[in-house]
Chains A and B, each alone.
Chain A
């Protein structure tokens, strides 16, 4: 493997991140710069930063892997990630900026004037943030291990240390530059190799990828099985093996696997002949196969349900992701927040045209990855396989650099927002030094989890984070912005009922509790029922506790919806006139200016 190039490329990305972060640190002079880049980030730069932060490893590596495994239906993931921004734009973007909320907990407190709801929201922000950080760290470990043979934990630690350093040192201003740079890097890293790969594919008589039949190997292939797998063989298959298959020790002699399930022990090397169909990996619940659980294949009903579960979770979950909400506060006003989101839609939409190319090419050239459970690596190994030589190595190194940029940027955005909440709600409000302490805390917990839970399938935590966010923060934001009669008890009940039930359902599925069939599908894709549950609970309890409607609700709604220039003249800007105890656009519990 191209260890030198890859190691150099990864080191280069890390170095560039630190350097650009340092550059931002020199510009970052005031406390306001530190937290929110002084709220003056232009739509273009801010949009590149938001896109850089949003496009995580799940997008860079995971989508291609899922398409390789399961075909074009998996493209609902990128479509959902993009549509989530459209929903966010039309329902939330401008009012969220005008609320002056730095985190979702700030929004909850400003809108509902309740410290209890604030604490509950903080709990969800930290929980969702950690759920989302965990797969970033584990993905970094996996990538570095596959590419350079480094130990599993090394990649996680590298990402954790760089991110903690960059966030703690430079704050929001420097992170904005770093993430804008990383969007450019990710797009380039995916675009340039894709052009070369497409050219090589066309020169190879453009073989078609088939998804309605098992993938077929194009040449004799040696496959090393690192973890014991069960496979389903569709038709008798002649192959060689060195290792243990179905309990029998094989020493490289050819033999035939009959139709049906077989067990291949860890460490076995299979030699599959040219033209052989790749045996399909049998589904097990405790199988860390990819970034998210496959949509329940087979019968039409559950598959349709699962697709809509995914659609609801991603369409509605984006607005509640902690690192997405923080970004809106860096826009100067509501109109800029809207325009920024429009640019973001364009940028991430352009990016998502590329992963399907890798998925389809992976199905043609590297189908054996489906057997080893390393489909997420398809993007990384394709150049070496299709182009080969020094060119292939260089392109592979470029892709590795892009993947690391993905881990770094998403992890830094998440750390920034989780640390923000910890600073405000856990530590005493003493300014920047405590923010740095919170950054270390925000990163340590998921890092320890990722190292300890190496064998626990947490890779689908991204999908889980979306489902929980869609069932908890989506109702809170939508009703908080558009419905005058929302009450603190209603909001709290909805958060617990919606978010809590989504979390419980997915955890129960991971533990293997619900029986196969419909109960399993219902629990694995909770968004279809947990989002309505969250909304209905919030509305129902609010109506029942109508006398708890906050006194300042009308004033705050006016502030959320009036254009800033008008609001400034009518006195709806700023916490002084609206009476809410929440953070106004100019003060976070007196935090700005503190610590200097």
Chain B
């Protein structure tokens, strides 16, 4: 094999000592791994913030999409309505709801990832 194809020699070492152990804050991790009351509380706080984000996204879905059948039925129930609701039904169900759902999903994904980052920061004490 010609010399230029030989992979370059590299020195492999462990994680720098400073990054491996953060004095004073490592216990948070072991609290979680050892299932102490404090550790459980940590996990519970993460679950609660994630659940809050999920419920908020579901709330948007219920409010903006789940309420549509009632909205469509409203003109019929109230009686007189100028014109037919059909164009509105087409616009809402055929197109309008999809961007709403996608934006809700994007908001949720960002929120959930931020919750996780915040949690890691809390546990690692950064």
Q: Could you tell me which A residues sit within 8 Å of B by CB distance? A: 71-73, 75-76, 79, 82-83, 85-87, 89-91, 94, 211-212, 300, 303-304, 307-308, 311, 315, 335, 338-339, 341-342, 345-346, 349-350, 352-353, 356, 360, 482, 554-555, 557-558, 561-563, 565-566, 569-572, 577
A426 CA to B109 CA in the complex, in Å?
Answer: 38
Residues of B within 8 A of A212 (CB): 84, 86
Question: In angstroms, how far is the closest chain B Cβ from the Cβ of A537?
Answer: 22
Residues of A within 8 A of B99 (CB): 349
Can you list, as one digit per residue, whether each of B93-116 has a CB less than 8 Å from chain A (1) or not (0)? 111011101101110110011001
Which 4 A-B residue pairings sit nearest by Cβ, starting from the closest? A75-B93, A349-B98, A570-B33, A90-B54
Which residue from chain B places its CB closest to the CB of A563 in the assembled complex?
B116
Residues of A within 8 A of B105 (CB): 85-86, 89-90, 341-342, 345
A311 CA to B58 CA in the complex, in Å?
Answer: 13
Contact A338–B73 (Cβ < 8 Å): no
Contact B86–A86 (Cβ < 8 Å): no
A selection of 23 A-B contacts at a CB cut-off of 8 Å is A71-B86, A72-B93, A73-B93, A75-B93, A75-B94, A89-B105, A212-B84, A300-B77, A341-B105, A342-B106, A346-B102, A349-B98, A349-B101, A349-B102, A482-B47, A555-B35, A557-B43, A561-B46, A562-B32, A566-B119, A566-B123, A569-B29, A577-B33
Residues of B within 8 A of A72 (CB): 86, 89-90, 93-94
Known contacts A90-B57, A353-B94; is A83 also within 8 Å of B65 by CB? yes
Contact B109–A89 (Cβ < 8 Å): yes
Chain A binding surface, main DSSP class:
helix
Is the CB of B125 closer than 8 A to any CB of chain A? no
Known contacts A72-B94, A87-B58, A349-B101; is A557 also within 8 Å of B47 by CB? yes
Residues of A within 8 A of B106 (CB): 342
Residues of A within 8 A of B94 (CB): 72, 75, 353, 356
Is the CB of B70 closer than 8 A to any CB of chain A? yes
Residues of B within 8 A of A563 (CB): 116, 119-120
Chain B binding surface, main DSSP class:
helix
- Kindly identify which residue among B32, B84, B89, B113 contacts A338, using a CB–CB cutoff of 8 Å: B113
Number of chain B residues whose Cβ lies closer than 8 Å to a Cβ of chain A: 48
- Kindly identify which residue among A86, A300, A303 contacts B101, using a CB–CB cutoff of 8 Å: A86
Contact B95–A353 (Cβ < 8 Å): yes
Contact A566–B109 (Cβ < 8 Å): no
Residues of B within 8 A of A86 (CB): 57, 61, 101, 104-105
Question: In angstroms, how far is the closest chain B Cβ from the Cβ of A557?
Answer: 7
- Kindly identify which residue among B35, B40, B76, B90 contacts A356, using a CB–CB cutoff of 8 Å: B90
Residues of B within 8 A of A91 (CB): 54, 58
A576 CA to B101 CA in the complex, in Å?
Answer: 39
Residues of B within 8 A of A303 (CB): 73
Can you list, as one digit per residue, whether each of B28-41 has a CB less than 8 Å from chain A (1) or not (0)? 01101101000110
Known contacts A90-B53, A561-B47, A562-B46; is A554 also within 8 Å of B35 by CB? yes
